[in-house]
Amino acid sequence: MIVHLPHWVKKHPNVDTRLFSSHKLKCRVHCCNHHGEPVDPIPFVVITGCAWALCLSFVPLYLDLFVVSDVIRILLSVVLGLALTCWAFYQFLWTADPQMRESLSPGIRFESILRGGIIFTVTLIGLAILAVAILHRRGMVV
């Protein structure tokens, strides 16, 4: 992929366009499934990044409600992040079928994304209710 500069950058008097034109930015990532067919790595990267962000930010705080030690909390967060990374690799890279994406209509793909978002939201709300119930039982929340 070659990055093209916007017209306002080329015309701006304080920007030396030679800095940009001498360096052509190219990004080529070759990811293949277990059959050797090229697949898109972006879903894997997005899911893995979100999983690590959630694991390292929410799991230690949530486990703090159960009075788990700091080392165990971080260790469990990393183990959960690694497990989710392995799952995402298997799901989005290793067993991915490039022809499957082309055969599915955008409506079906949107419906599956929406279903995943609803499941994720219900899970977070359930965990929040459970945390508030635990705190209320301990007398920390009125």
Residue 82, domain member (yes or no): yes
Residues 15, 72, single domain; the answer is: yes
- Domain assignment of residue 26, yes or no: yes
**Co-location of 120 and 132 in the same domain:** yes
118 and 49 co-located in one domain: no
pTM of the predicted protein model: 0.65
For residue 19, the model assigns a pLDDT of 52
pLDDT digits (tens, 9 = 90+) for 9-35: 445 555 555 555 545 545 556 788 888
Residues 22, 86 within the same domain = yes
Q: Would strands 31-32 and 38-39 be described as parallel, antiparallel, or unpaired?
A: antiparallel
Give a yes or no: residue 114 inside a domain: yes
Q: Which domain holds residue 48?
A: 7-103
36-40, 59-63, 99-103, 104-108: lowest mean pLDDT where? 99-103
Structure tokens, 21: 């034109």
Do 32 and 84 lie in a common domain?
yes
Angle at 77 between CA 90 and CA 79, to 5 degrees: 45
Could you read off the pLDDT of 97-125 as tens digits, one per residue?
877 777 778 888 889 889 988 998 898 89
Q: How many domains does the chain have?
A: 2
Count CB atoms within 10 A of the CB of residue 96: 23
Question: Is the residue at 2 inside a domain?
Answer: no
